[in-house]
Homo-oligomer: A and B are copies of this chain.
Amino acid sequence: MSAPNADPILEERARRIVETSIELAERGGFEAVRLRDVAAHAGVAMGTLYRRFRSKEDLLVAALEQETRTLAQRVRQRPPKGSEASERVVGFFEIATRGMVRRPNLSRAMLRATAAGEPILAEKVEVFHDLMRRMIVSALRGEPVEGAAGGISDDERRVGDLLNRVWFALMMSWAGGGQSPGKIGEEMRTSVELVLGRPVQKAIPRTGAMERVVQQPEK
């Protein structure tokens, strides 16, 4: 509890296991992540794998957290631009969505894992949601993503949670094969507008200087 994991060797092993899972999932989705294969590829025995991860879902949620941290890093370096908060938030979700859509098999597998329902897993899923919320709030503010949990106002938390939930449900729906990426972006945009107020617009006067960011007025 105190030290968040010290042994570099164990760390290294765990990292390799997660890495392998990601590769397999990327290739063939959830079912392709056969634990025997993961263990073999990662060069460990089943026992070791199960010592670090409680279940297949645990493994994939770990992958989700890792991928999300990568996203955070990416956003930290190239934060979504825009003068309006809504513009930036929409921009952020576009980045996040693109990240998911780019590797559908992997994403589907990770999303599915979040639904397992084990309480212990749920905590790790919560970590993922925390990361997301933090990124959303920082896009909202137009500030860089800060590492610390910094002070988030109640309003920010409310809006962040709401949008995060909408996006997550949208991803779940996409994972099933329902929503197309275009639809996702669209619905995300209208959701942001609904919550943050009209502002977004960005396309009022003859496509002034700022019509970048989001795509055209759809239809």
Interface residues of A (CB under 8 A from B): 29-30, 108-109, 111-112, 114-119, 121-123, 125-126, 129, 154-155, 158-159, 161-162, 164-166, 168-170, 172-173, 175-178, 187, 190-191, 194-197, 215, 218-219
Count of identical protomers in the assembly: 2
**Selected contact of A166 from candidates B108, B162, B187, CB within 8 Å:** B162
Q: Are B158 and A190 in contact (CB under 8 A)?
A: yes
Q: Are A30 and B117 in contact (CB under 8 A)?
A: yes
- Chain B residue numbers with a CB within 8 Å of A177 are 117, 119, 122
Contact residues in B for A195 (Cβ distance below 8 Å): 194-195
CB distance from A133 to the nearest CB of B (A): 12
User: Nearest chain B CB to A77's CB is how many angstroms away?
Assistant: 27
The answer to whether A155 and B111 have CB atoms under 8 Å apart is: no
Q: A169-B169, A197-B218 are in contact. Are A117 and B122 (CB under 8 A)?
A: no
Can you offer 22 A-B residue contacts whose CB atoms are under 8 A?
A30-B117, A111-B117, A114-B172, A115-B115, A115-B172, A117-B175, A117-B177, A119-B176, A122-B173, A122-B178, A125-B176, A129-B173, A155-B218, A155-B219, A158-B194, A158-B215, A162-B190, A164-B169, A165-B169, A166-B166, A168-B172, A169-B169
Task: Give complex CA distance A182, B187 in Å.
Answer: 28
